[in-house]
Amino acid sequence: MKHQLDDFINHLHHERGLSHNTISGYSKDLQLLLDFVTEQQVDDWRRMKVHHIRHWVASNHRAGRSGKSQQRRLSATRTFFNYLIREGFAENNPALSVSAPKDTRKLPGTLDTDQVSQLLNSTATDWHALRDKAILELFYSSGLRLSELVGTNLTDIDFHDKSIIVTGKGNKQRLLPVGRMAIDAIKAWLQVRSLLPVRNATADDHALFISERGKRISTRNVQARLRQAGMLQGVQGRLHPHMLRHSFASHMLESSRDLRAVQELLGHADISTTQIYTHLDFQHLAEVYDSAHPRARKQDQDS
């Protein structure tokens, strides 16, 4: 059973070309499944039944695992059993009819447009500040994920078309517009990019954003720099990359009312995912309701 699980992980890497983080998630979740069924004295994937999967879900629930975590594990299990069936190591998929408990979905934190202006309108003069400003502008301009921004290369930016090629989940690429302010900030950063603060540092020739030691900037470095920028500019709460991505999506939806377009910009495969990243201001909805609904409109005083 362990050998077949290892073969599946190799299949994800070599044949499907999934990202390291995605493969790591599959590996961890399915190892937990293997540990559980071993405890249940199941010695062949063919012997797995629906009640085994339900028992596993129940044990995860008792251990305090979130519904989202269990949904991810069940998804990995379904994909794994589809692979086993195709390879002749199983006859059916016992996870298909099992559902995970649902979590109450909470909207991520967001900044309003005034807070974004407060954050981005700072003056940048030194090496770190110019780089950080370009990072902030690109996050908010194009709604990138943290991994997408860190993985961006110099050749991904087209200054003539004001666009960027982004490699997202599953190595899927999408072409995104980049706003004028972000373009200007990136150009200013590129003028000093090669002037590394650390002596004898060698710049990564491909990475758009690098650390002072010349290597592609890490996700932790970006997270730390954003927290610092938020504190320096007086932004309430803890600023993080996802907050800028969500702010981008929220402001785009509030302006355009085009959920499908925002879905494409964010790179979501399922529009239901976009719906939890975006929200409409309730006051705006109330105003629309009062002005449009026949039973909410105020009658003329003369009537």
> What are the tens digits of pLDDT across the range 165-211?
998 888 888 999 999 999 999 999 999 999 999 888 888 889 999 99
* Cα separation, 212 vs 113, whole angstroms: 31
Catalytic residue among 65, 169, 216, 279: 169
Instruction: Tally DSSP H helices, then E strands, for the chain.
Output: 13, 3
* Cα separation, 172 vs 170, whole angstroms: 5
Burial of 144 (0-12, 13-18, 19+ CB in 10 A): buried
297, pLDDT greater than 80: no
Q: Residue 290: its pLDDT value, please?
A: 63
145 is catalytic: yes
Output 4 or 257, whichever has higher pLDDT.
Answer: 4
Per-residue pLDDT tens for 14-44?
888 888 888 999 999 999 999 988 998 888 9
Per-residue pLDDT tens for 233-272?
887 778 888 888 888 888 887 777 777 777 878 877 776 6
Catalytic residue among 52, 246, 251, 268: 268
47 is catalytic: no
Output 147 or 256, whichever has higher pLDDT.
Answer: 147
289 is catalytic: no
Catalytic residue among 131, 193, 225, 245: 245
DSSP letter (8 states) at residue 300: P
Q: Residue 106: its pLDDT value, please?
A: 61
Cα radius of gyration rounded to whole Å, the chain:
24
Could you tell me the residue ranges of all domains in the chain? Answer: 2-87, 113-283
Q: Residue 57: its pLDDT value, please?
A: 87
Output the six-digit token pair for 3.
Answer: 């050998």
Catalytic residue among 128, 145, 213, 279: 145
242 is catalytic: yes
| Average of per-residue pLDDT across 74-87 | 92
| Average of per-residue pLDDT across 39-64 | 87
Output 69 or 152, whichever has higher pLDDT.
Answer: 152
Contacts of 287 (CB under 8 A, 6+ apart): none
Q: Residue 242: its pLDDT value, please?
A: 85
Output 273 or 97, whichever has higher pLDDT.
Answer: 97
- Average pLDDT, whole number, for the chain? 84
pLDDT range class, residue 282, cuts 50, 70, 90: very low
In this prediction the pTM is 0.60
* Whether the domain at 2-87 and the domain at 113-283 fall into the same CATH topology: no
Catalytic residue among 78, 215, 242, 279: 242
Under a CB-based contact definition with an 8 Å cutoff, are residues 52 and 5 in contact? no
Q: What is the CATH number of domain 113-283?
A: 1.10.443.10
268 is catalytic: yes
- The answer to whether domain 2-87 has CATH 1.10.260 is no
DSSP 164-201: EEEE-GGG-EEEEE--HHHHHHHHHHHHHTTS-SSTT-
